[in-house]
Structure 1
Amino acid sequence: MKLKLFIAAIISTSMSLHAEPAQASANFTFEDLKAMAKASAEKPYTPTAVPAPELIDKITYDEHWKIRFKEGETLYPNGKKAPLQLFYPGRYFPEPVSIYIRDDKNNVKELPFSNALFDMPDDSPAHDLPQGFGFAGFRIMRPDIKPDWISFLGASYFRTDGPQGQYGLSARGIAINTGMSEPEEFPRFSAFWIGPAEKKGESVSVWALLEGPSITGAYRFGLSKDNKEAKGHITSVSANLYMRADVERLGIAPLTSMYWYSEKDKTEAKDWRPEIHDSDGLAIHTGSGQYIWRPLNNPQSVSTNSFIDENPKGFGLIQRDRDFNNYQDDGVFYNKRSSAWIKPQGDWGKGAVQLVEIPTKDETFDNIVAYWVPEKEARKGDEFTFSYDIEWRPLDPKSKTLASVVNTRQGQGGIPGQPIPEGVNKMVIDFEGPVFKGLDRESGIKPIVEASNGEILEPIGAYPIVGTNQWRLAFDYKQSNNNPVHIRAYLVDKNDEAITETWVSDAKVTIE
């Protein structure tokens, strides 16, 4: 199991406010949790020290995963369909989390932490941890208590194993100042209330208290497994946010993933595998109905792209390439990694989908983040409410009328057999969809390719790929300076109507 970016995030924020959640009581409602979060935001931030930090530091990554929750201690907050198990704390998950069980009458009871709930090796340093420390998080198991399908562990991170049972990218509660020059803030879920499903189709519901130096929040999660429409799991989220301080960049519904290299830029890495990534692109369905595909990059420096929109219909980090042969990894199975699609509920107003890409030299850490930034500034005392579903899907929802991008490749520019032009690269984009049925080179299909900070060179080719239902768009480009070329491309029919989604990219000339 690979280390994720959130591990580094947790290390950098080893202290956080830990408000006192309600003790065992009757009729603790979600409104009470909202009031708790709001009241906390009106008080100065007070970090809580990690108990026994020297001991907890000895529970390394490897030591941590040797500690297992005892199957006989499994809890059932919503009957046999939602078995609950808890995570032990460790070096990368040092801050204690309070866990409460909530019944259908909103009676709540805190679960006391004890080493007796866990199996661990005889020589584990965890034996010396004091009683009453606190859990690190939790996971929901399948009914037979075999594999888990969703887990909450570290800061405000959570993830599912998706439709093919393989963990990959993560979601988190909030993103604060991601990709900026100042240090990013990582608020954390400090307490969870886990109970029966509140809506039809859910396996279990979870309430969570979010706490951080600049923000607090009351979250409601509806956890659904194996949804037929999404062909995967659904996490329904309602986030009630309260600003403790001004925040320059507030990221709503953030997704975190890993992209090292793919068929597009495989020359950037020396690994033997053809591709390594949890996601290969950002997909957006805009409020105006446009479909956008932005292939991911592994940049040389931190890169931030904003896609201005109003009331977006959806966005997500997607793993479109599902072919094992393109990865050849029979250990972590990148071809099975889930995609995650954010589906807003209600109108989100004006703002932007923002994509942050961070350089990486291996697959160990997440380096991709995508989220929604509201146009309204986040200032001390402000309140925000956002509701959305996270659909953990094989692919993003497709347009019924537009072809989708299936491949992006970059290589040396020019024409084979002729002198190689200096400072020129070629981009090749393959589209696929039923809209191409019956079309050929005489059907009047035209490419639209636009660029800023660079130049698109003639000729631009758009033609069907023999033996497939795909069309290929190919063009050469060059940069105006050291900054990437911003390119936008799609195909139109003879009536100048778009027949493909819009491909956009920040491209650099990397192959000379």
Structure 2
Amino acid sequence: MTAASRRQFLGLFGGLAALGLHQAQANGRAGLRFGPTTGFTPETVTARARNLAVSAYVPPPSVSTAWRNLSYDTFRGIWYDTRQALYRDHPSSVQAEFFVAGLFFRHKIGLHAVEGGQSREVQFDLANFDTTDTFPDLPAEGTGFAGFRVLGETEAQGRFQEYAVFQGASYFRAIGRGQAYGISSRGLALNTAGSGPEEFPIFREFWIEAAAPDASAVTIHALLDSPSVAGAYRFDIRKGDVTEMTVSARLFPRAQLNSVGIGSGTSMFLFNNINHFRFDDFREAVHDSDGLLMLNGMGETIWRPLNNPKNIETSIFVDSAPRGFGLMQRARKPGDYNDLSAHYDRRPSLWVEPLGDWGKGAVMLIEIPTDKEINDNIVAFWRPQSPLFAGTEYQFDYRLHWCATAPVEGAVAPVIATRTGARVFEDGRLFTVDYAPHPALGDDPARIEARVSTSRGAISSPIVQHNPATGGMRLDFTLKGDPNETELRAELWRDGRPAAEVWLNRWISR
């Protein structure tokens, strides 16, 4: 799947009697219909995944050609009737609305409602969707469910608003209170930037649990499947200013997996002040994320500004027992973008917090060239050092924070801007790194030691100065020798201790 198609399909996100599950009729429609009751526990999904892994892969049912061939604009002309939302007429603190399959979403998936240890399948009914007058009359049997969105009382009591979406392969997105959708995650990345074609596992079934009336969290189970692996996922989603997802993933490889991505984030970076010269655009910046933040197993806090390269670039940050990583959106003022409609200042950061020891591996960052903001061109994830072998069970637990700032920020001064340009009166390239005000830096630049290094070329004249515009400090240095490609590293120390995030950057002159 190309970067362009990723962004396009993500852009479409946008009792029942004895069970206690009941869906009332609305507007003369029959309402939701359900299959027979079956017992359910979290092990139900695990057993399904384990059984799938020892069988040949069979993809979910495909939608018909007519539904696949809809245009993007036409497909936007069908949407779910909110009056038919799952748990709408039920004392649950969560509701769910569904998406129809078609266009980019070419497989029908299964959806189930769970309450009191009992599950019932939600049966697809095209009558529960509304359309524009120009939407074609297509047969209901040619389509089915493609995913769903989760709604809760995030802003005001009695008003249910969307805060999470599961749709397309194993992709999903979430927002905290007051945020706008941007970065997405996925259940598993396979062979991303690997030697062979990328594989996209599918969440082929979901189980959505009813939540207590005053609950702030909802539990969702998912069955993952692909030619190479099956998996059982549990998402405990807690809404709020920060939406937290505690994820438990149990994987059952069908084949040896040499290139696995855990905690994957997919985002967009077009330009900011480091590469604005390449774009004829009135705005100051265009991006869903502007940097990769890492807290490695040694306790170093590392900031890597994102780039929009001319060729695909892969960066590998080797680590052991990582404490966290994620794609961050640090520019938070509307004036940072000068865009009154896209609301990039409200896009969430996504911090991945491993639960337990993930062992040896690497944080991977893939940067893909793009000339349009509709393309998701940034991917970051954890890759275990050792392959995952067929016939063996693996478990990865982690917590996703859809947030404005990562929970680990604050111990040292964060990087807030990176700029570069040719020197005017001497050879070389000037780099400036701005840091936010922070007690670790103090207010006397003379007490700060700058440690700057490069893998090629030479570093000249590192200087730390107070920046009156930000109230923090600025590091200036010059890269000499004009290397075509080099890895840069800068650290600020004060009184024998790190005072700021470690700044890393890959400079490519070609």
Give CA deviations for 1:365-401 in whole Å, capped at 9, x if unaligned.
1011111111221222232101111111001234444
Alpha-carbon distance between aligned partners in 2 of 1:278 and 1:402, rounded to the nearest angstrom: 24
Alpha-carbon distance between aligned partners in 1 of 2:299 and 2:324, rounded to the nearest angstrom: 10
* Higher mean displacement: 276-285 or 426-435: 426-435
Per the alignment, residue 498 of structure 1 pairs with 498
Residue 64 (1) aligns with residue 67 (2):
no
* Higher mean displacement: 461-470 or 499-508: 461-470
Partner of residue 309 from structure 1, selected from 304, 319, 324: 319
Residue 426 (1) aligns with residue 430 (2):
yes
Q: Is the 8 A contact 2:175 2:242 kept in 1?
A: no
Partner of residue 385 from structure 1, selected from 387, 392, 395: 395
Residue 287 (1) aligns with residue 297 (2):
yes
Per the alignment, residue 451 of structure 1 pairs with 454
Per the alignment, residue 219 of structure 2 pairs with 205
Q: Is the 8 A contact 2:190 2:198 kept in 1?
A: yes
Per the alignment, residue 43 of structure 2 pairs with 31
Shift of 1:289: 1.2
Per the alignment, residue 465 of structure 2 pairs with 463
Alpha-carbon distance between aligned partners in 1 of 2:397 and 2:503, rounded to the nearest angstrom: 28
Shift of 1:351: 1.2
Shift of 1:178: 0.5
Structure 2 runs not aligned, ≥5 long: 11-33
Per the alignment, residue 198 of structure 2 pairs with 184
List structure 1 segments (4+ residues) > 4 angstroms apart after TM superposition: 7-10, 478-481
SS in 1 for 2:473: strand
Q: 1:326 to 1:410 in 2, by over 3 A?
A: same
Matched letter for residue 42 of structure 2: F
Q: 1:24 to 1:208 in 2, by over 3 A?
A: farther
Percent pairwise identity: 35
Give CA deviations for 1:251-272 in whole Å, capped at 9, x if unaligned.
0110100011111111122222
Structure 1 vs Structure 2 CA RMSD:
2.4
Shift of 1:162: 3.0
Q: Is the 8 A contact 1:445 1:492 kept in 2?
A: yes
Matched letter for residue 172 of structure 1: R
Give CA deviations for 1:418-441 in whole Å, capped at 9, x if unaligned.
3x52xx321100112322575324
Alpha-carbon distance between aligned partners in 1 of 2:150 and 2:9, rounded to the nearest angstrom: 24
SS in 1 for 2:407: coil
Per the alignment, residue 151 of structure 2 pairs with 141
Q: Is the 8 A contact 1:263 1:409 kept in 2?
A: yes
Q: Is the 8 A contact 2:413 2:441 kept in 1?
A: no
* Higher mean displacement: 151-160 or 267-276: 267-276
Partner of residue 164 from structure 1, selected from 178, 186, 201: 178
Alpha-carbon distance between aligned partners in 1 of 2:452 and 2:487, rounded to the nearest angstrom: 11
Per the alignment, residue 309 of structure 2 pairs with 299
Per the alignment, residue 275 of structure 2 pairs with 265
Partner of residue 112 from structure 1, selected from 118, 123, 127: 123
Q: Is the 8 A contact 2:115 2:210 kept in 1?
A: yes
Q: Is the 8 A contact 2:258 2:386 kept in 1?
A: no
Give CA deviations for 1:304-337 in whole Å, capped at 9, x if unaligned.
1111112111111000011111211111111110
Shift of 1:48: 4.5
Shift of 1:7: 5.7
Residue 473 (1) aligns with residue 439 (2):
no
Q: Is the 8 A contact 2:180 2:343 kept in 1?
A: yes
Matched letter for residue 437 of structure 2: G
Q: Is the 8 A contact 2:221 2:233 kept in 1?
A: yes
Shift of 1:145: 5.3
Matched letter for residue 111 of structure 1: V
Shift of 1:249: 0.7
Q: 1:500 to 1:232 in 2, by over 3 A?
A: same
Residue 223 (1) aligns with residue 233 (2):
no
Shift of 1:405: 0.4
Shift of 1:174: 0.4
TM alignment of 1:356-375, pairs within 5 A: 356-375=366-385
Shift of 1:202: 4.2
Per the alignment, residue 13 of structure 2 pairs with none
Per the alignment, residue 130 of structure 1 pairs with 140
Shift of 1:64: 2.4
Figure out how many residues of one structure are paired with residues of the other and give that number: 480
Residue 336 (1) aligns with residue 350 (2):
no
Residue 486 (1) aligns with residue 497 (2):
no
Structure 1 runs not aligned, ≥5 long: 11-21
Q: 1:36 to 1:334 in 2, by over 3 A?
A: same
Partner of residue 259 from structure 2, selected from 231, 249, 254: 249
Alpha-carbon distance between aligned partners in 2 of 1:128 and 1:474, rounded to the nearest angstrom: 62
Alpha-carbon distance between aligned partners in 2 of 1:300 and 1:170, rounded to the nearest angstrom: 24
Partner of residue 92 from structure 1, selected from 92, 104, 112: 104
Per the alignment, residue 15 of structure 1 pairs with none
Alpha-carbon distance between aligned partners in 2 of 1:219 and 1:398, rounded to the nearest angstrom: 26
Alpha-carbon distance between aligned partners in 1 of 2:279 and 2:417, rounded to the nearest angstrom: 19
Shift of 1:275: 0.6
Alpha-carbon distance between aligned partners in 1 of 2:209 and 2:296, rounded to the nearest angstrom: 35
Matched letter for residue 460 of structure 1: P
Give CA deviations for 1:99-141 in whole Å, capped at 9, x if unaligned.
110112x21111111111011123312x313337320100012
Alpha-carbon distance between aligned partners in 2 of 1:309 and 1:23, rounded to the nearest angstrom: 48
Alpha-carbon distance between aligned partners in 2 of 1:278 and 1:46, rounded to the nearest angstrom: 36
TM alignment of 1:430-445, pairs within 5 A: 430-435=434-439, 438-442=442-446, 444-445=447-448
Give CA deviations for 1:208-229 in whole Å, capped at 9, x if unaligned.
0001111110000111110xxx
Q: 1:209 to 1:48 in 2, by over 3 A?
A: closer
Alignment TM-score, normalising by the size of structure 1: 0.88
Matched letter for residue 170 of structure 2: S
Q: Is the 8 A contact 2:36 2:120 kept in 1?
A: yes
Shift of 1:479: 5.8
SS in 2 for 1:193: strand
Per the alignment, residue 18 of structure 1 pairs with none
